[in-house]
Amino acid sequence: MEINDVTVVYMLRELALVPITLLPIINPLSTASVFVATVGQQREASNRLARQIAVNAFFVMVAAMAIGTYVLILFGVSLPVVRIGGGLLVAATGWRMLNAKPEAVQAAVAGEASTMSDSEIKRHSFFPMTFPLTTGPGTIAACIALGAKSPSTSPVLYLAGLVIAALGALIVAIVVFFILKHSVAVVAKIGPTGELVLQQLMAFILLCIGIQLMWTGWHELNLG
């Protein structure tokens, strides 16, 4: 296999790694029920809110991948420790999802939905719909860990890695947009039992991702 082919395979693998890692953490289907409760049957409001949440989530993910590492350097935190800490947080989130009922914050948002006007829906597009329901601490920690994988040996390689990460984040944002946009139909189609099964499956995948992140960080610390 030629060098160019190896490079293309590597770039595609790195591109796929972003949505494979982040989508189980974000789990937009778990936010769909809150989204439906927020906008009800208002199709126009549903489209606007879904688009705004996707845009917000994209910028949060890209910012975490681009500058998160440098913020950690400012505070003197090493990347292996970040991976271990992020893995702990991600694994804890998955464990909580496996054993707990829907989070209180989701219930609170759904409870206030009936009194929200269109302007209030727009104001709520970042908090709490984008953060913490869509891109919470676990997502940000995983984005920082992914950003740490970008090559830093030269500005060109770093920029290329950042572009690949941004494209991966764009794929995630598009998936979030389409799921939320069609969340009324999705929630109705899979039903309560299907939603529960899907959430449990995503929670298990999330737990495994967290353990993998911790193992990678521990391995790097031992090599150092």
List, in order, residues 6 or more apart from 60 with CB less than 8 Å away.
130, 131, 135, 139, 140, 143
In this structure, of 78-82, 180-184, 195-199, the range with the lowest mean pLDDT score is: 195-199
pTM of the model: 0.71
In this structure, of 22-26, 36-40, 78-82, the range with the lowest mean pLDDT score is: 36-40
| CB burial readout 69-106, b (16+ within 10 A) else e | beebeeeeeebbebbbbbbbbbbebbeebeeeeebeeb
Q: How confident is the model at residue 2 (pLDDT cuts 50, 70, 90)?
A: very low
- Say what the pLDDT of residue 1 is: 41
In this structure, of 6-15, 24-33, 36-45, 49-58, the range with the lowest mean pLDDT score is: 36-45
Q: What is the DSSP letter of 153?
A: S
Identify how many contiguous H helices and E strands the chain contains and give both numbers: 9, 0
Cα(30)–Cα(45) distance, rounded to whole angstroms? 20
Q: How confident is the model at residue 51 (pLDDT cuts 50, 70, 90)?
A: very high
Q: How confident is the model at residue 118 (pLDDT cuts 50, 70, 90)?
A: low
Q: Which position has the higher pLDDT, 19 or 107?
A: 19
- % of residues, the chain, pLDDT over 90: 17
pLDDT(200) > 60: yes
Mean pLDDT of 164-192: 87
Q: 100-116: per-residue pLDDT in tens?
A: 665 544 554 455 544 55
List, in order, residues 6 or more apart from 78 with CB less than 8 Å away.
72
Cα(140)–Cα(205) distance, rounded to whole angstroms? 17
